[in-house]
Chains A and B, each alone.
Chain A
Amino acid sequence: MESNFYTEPTKYNDLRKWVCSTDHKRIGLLYMASIFIFFLVAMMIGVVMKLKMLSAGTTFISARTYNSLFTVHGVIMIFLFIIPGIPAALGNFILPLQLGAKDVAFPRLNLYSWYFYIAGAVCALTSLFTGGGAPDTGWTFYVPYSVTTGTNVSLAVFGAFLLGMSSTLTGLNFLTTIHRMRAPGMGWFRMPLFIWSLYATGWVQLLATPIIAITLVLVILERLFNVGIFDPSRGGDPILFEHMFWIYSHPAVYIMILPAMGIVSEIIPVFARRTIFGYKAIAFSSLAIALVGYLVWGHHMFTSGMSDTARVIFSLLTFIVAVPSGVKVFNWVASLYKGSSVISAPLIFVMAFIFLFSIGGLTGLFQGALNIDMHIHGTYFIVAHFHYVMFGGTGFAFFAGLHYWYPKIFGRMYNEKIARYACGLMLIGFNVLYFPMFILGWQGMPRRYYDYPAQFQALQRLSSVGSWILVAGILLMFHNLVKSIRKGTPASSNPWGGKTLEWQTTSPPPTENFVEIPVVTSGPYNY
C-alpha cells in the first residue's frame, strides 16, 4: 500500500497518535470506534429486554430493572449512537475529502468535541452504577418523575448536556467548513448531496441543541435546589418541560435522519451509473425538512393537554414535513429507473433503507393524524414506527455508508458475499422483530410495560425471535468489517467508480488528503 495517514510519521508514536490528533480522519475513526462499542452495548440491552418479553410476569428481571433497561437502552442509542453517529464518524472522515479540503475549519475544536463526547459518555455510564442506581425515567426524562425519582438522573442528564455540546460544536465546525473550505470550482450546487445533508444537519444541531441544554440544566437545578419551575405544587408547569424537551428532540430526529438521506443520495447515483434525479430538489428538501422540522414538536404531546387549535396546527405541519421526505424517496427511486445498476452491498443496504424508511415514514403519518393518535399514543405502535425510521432508516443507511466508504477508510475490501448475507439476515430479523409491534400497538400493548396479557403472547414471542435473527445479522456484519481491516483484499483508489472528490485520492488518503488540491469543473454525479 502507498504511504497513507496510518503509516505516515506523526508527532507521537503511542496512543496519543490517536487521542491527541487533530486529523479529521483519525477523529472520525475515534468516533466510529466509540460509537459502535456503545451501539453494541445498547443492542445487548435490547436483546435482554426482548428475552424478558418472551413470557409475561416477573421472570429473570424485575419490573424496576426493566425500567432501567429501557432507559439506558434509549439514552445510549439516542445520545451516544444515533445523534453523533453519521455526522461525527462518517461525516468527519468524508466531509473534508468530499470538499477537497485538507481538514475541517477548526481541527482542534473537532478533537475537543470528541473529548466532550467521551466525557458525556463517562457521565452517562457512571450514572448507571453510582448514586441511587441506573435512571429509570425513560430517555425522555419527563418531569415530575425525573425530579422526584431517587435514581441517578442528575448525572445522566449532565452527561446528555455534555453530549449536546459535543454535537453543537461538530455542527458549528461543519457549517464553517462547508462555507469556507470548498475546493476551487465547487459552487454550492456542485456539492455532493451528503454535504448538503450535513449542512442542513449542522443548522439543526446548532439551533436546536441549546434548548435541550437549558432544559436539562433546569432539571438538574430542580433536583438540586427545588426551584419549582416544573413543579405544579410551586406553580410550575410540567407540560412546559415536555414542550421544551420536544422543541429540541423533534428536530433531533432530523439530526439523525438527514445525514442518512445524504448517504443514500451518494450511493444511488454511483451504483445506478447515472446522475441523481432532481439534485436541487433533494438539496432543498434537506433544508425544508430542517426548517419545518422545528415547528412540529407538539405532535409528541397530542394527549398531554393542549388546545384543539394547537393540535390541529401541529397535525397539519406534521403532514407538511412529510412532503420533503417523500420528494427524496421518489427522487431516489426515479434515479434507479433505467440506470445500469450494479448490485453490490452498499446498494442492497440502501434498498433495505428505502423499504424500511417508507414503512416508518408512512406509519408516522398515522400518528400525525389526531384521531388515530388518540388510539395508538404511547403504545408499541410508536416504538415500531420509531425503530423503523431510526434503525431501519438511519441505521441501515449508516451501514450502507460504512460499506460504501470502507475501501476509502481502510484501504481494503470487505467480503462482499458475507456483507450481502448479513444485510439479508438483518432485513428479515428487523421485520420479524418490529412489524409485530405495529400490530401489538394497534391492539393496545402499551410501551415500556414489562408485563402483558395472554392474548399478546404469540406476537411478543415472534418479536423476540426476530431480535435474535437481527442480532445474528449485525454481528455477522461487524465480524466481516472488522476482520477485513487486516485480511481484506487491498482496494484501489476508486473501486466503485465514484465521481465525487474523495475517490480522487488514494485509499486510505494521505495525511493531507490530496497531493494536489483538486479543481472542480462539473457537478458531483456526472455519469
Chain B
Amino acid sequence: MSTENHFDYTGSKIGMWLFLFTEIILFGGLFLVYAVYRYTYPHEFHEAGEHLQVSLGFANTLILLTSSLTAALAVSSLQRDRKYASLWYISGTVALAAVFLINKFLEWSSHISAGMYPGAPALLAKGHGENLFYGLYYVMTGLHGVHVLGGAGALSLVYVWILQGKVDKDRYVALENAVLFWHLVDLVWIYLFPLFYLLI
C-alpha cells in the first residue's frame, strides 16, 4: 500500500541476514542434539559412520560447492547487465540442486533397503548410539534437503522475475538474497558432511 513502491536495498539485505540467523539457530538446535549424543555414544557413532559412503557424500559436497560458484556468478553477471548469462547460471544452480537431491535420494534408498531406518528390526538390533546416529542422519540431511528444495524454488522464482524484468541490473537484491540463502544451504552441508561421513 503506502510503501508498496518504497525500496530500500540495505533494509532488504538486513532482513535477509536476520532471516539467515534464524536458519542457523534452527540447524543449531540439531547440531546441539548431535553434539550431546556424539559425546554420549562416541564408539557407536564411530561404528555407524563407517557404513556411510564417503564417495557419495564427497560427490554431493563438490556439487554444492560448484552450485555456490554458479550462484555467485549469476549475481555478478546480472550486476554487469549480462541478463542471459545470469539466467544460465541460475539454471545451472537449480540443475545442480536437482543432482544433489537425486544423489541423496539414492543414498537414502540404499540405507532403507539395507534396513537402516528408524524402527527397522535390523537397526533396532544394533546399539542405542547407532539408532540415534541414523535418526539424526535422516532428520538433519532431511531438513537440509528441504532447504535445498526451498533454495531451488527461490532461485526459480527469481529466474521468472528476471525474465519479467522485475529484477535487473539496478534492482538485483532479490537475486542476491536468494543466492545468500543458497550459500547458507551450502554452508550447512559443509558441516553435515564431516559430522556424518568423515568424523569416524
Interface residues of A (CB under 8 A from B): 10-11, 21-23, 102-103, 105-107, 109, 168, 172-173, 175-176, 179-181, 206-211, 213-215, 217-218, 221, 225-229, 234-237, 240, 244, 511-513
- Residues of chain A with a CB closer than 8 A to B135's CB: 227-229, 234
Interface residue B136 (Cβ < 8 Å from any Cβ of A):
yes
Q: Which of B3-24 contact A (CB under 8 A)?
A: 3-4, 6, 8, 10-11, 14-15, 18-19, 21-23
Closest chain B CB from A21 CB (angstroms): 6
Q: Does A211 lie within 8 Å of B127, measured CB to CB?
A: no
Q: Contacting A235 at CB < 8 Å: which of B3, B8, B33, B128?
A: B128
Q: Contacting A210 at CB < 8 Å: which of B6, B22, B37, B139?
A: B22
- Residues of chain B with a CB closer than 8 A to A225's CB: 118-119, 138
- Residues of chain A with a CB closer than 8 A to B138's CB: 225, 227
Closest chain B CB from A429 CB (angstroms): 40
Q: Does A244 lie within 8 Å of B32, measured CB to CB?
A: yes
Bound-state CA distance A209–B18 (Å) is: 13
- Residues of chain B with a CB closer than 8 A to A175's CB: 14, 18
- Given contact pairs A109-B15, A181-B11, a sample of 19 additional A-B residue pairs in the complex whose CB atoms are under 8 Å apart: A22-B3, A23-B2, A105-B8, A172-B15, A173-B15, A180-B11, A206-B21, A207-B25, A209-B22, A211-B25, A211-B26, A214-B30, A215-B29, A227-B118, A229-B136, A235-B40, A235-B128, A237-B40, A244-B33
Question: Would A228 and B118 be within 8 Å (CB), given that A180-B8, A235-B129, A511-B1 are in contact?
Answer: yes
23 chain-A/chain-B pairs, Cβ below 8 angstroms: A102-B3, A102-B6, A105-B8, A105-B15, A107-B1, A109-B15, A175-B14, A180-B14, A207-B22, A209-B22, A214-B26, A214-B27, A214-B30, A214-B143, A218-B33, A226-B119, A227-B138, A228-B132, A229-B136, A234-B131, A234-B132, A237-B40, A513-B2
- Residues of chain B with a CB closer than 8 A to A109's CB: 15
- Which residue of chain A has its CB nearest to the CB of B133? A235
Question: Would A168 and B22 be within 8 Å (CB), given that A211-B28, A227-B118, A236-B132 are in contact?
Answer: yes
Q: Contacting B131 at CB < 8 Å: which of A168, A214, A235?
A: A235
- Residues of chain A with a CB closer than 8 A to B18's CB: 172, 175-176, 206
Bound-state CA distance A196–B123 (Å) is: 52
Bound-state CA distance A208–B21 (Å) is: 10
Q: Contacting B127 at CB < 8 Å: which of A107, A235, A237?
A: A235
Q: Does A102 lie within 8 Å of B2, measured CB to CB?
A: yes
Interface residue B108 (Cβ < 8 Å from any Cβ of A):
no
Interface residue B36 (Cβ < 8 Å from any Cβ of A):
yes
Interface residue B41 (Cβ < 8 Å from any Cβ of A):
yes
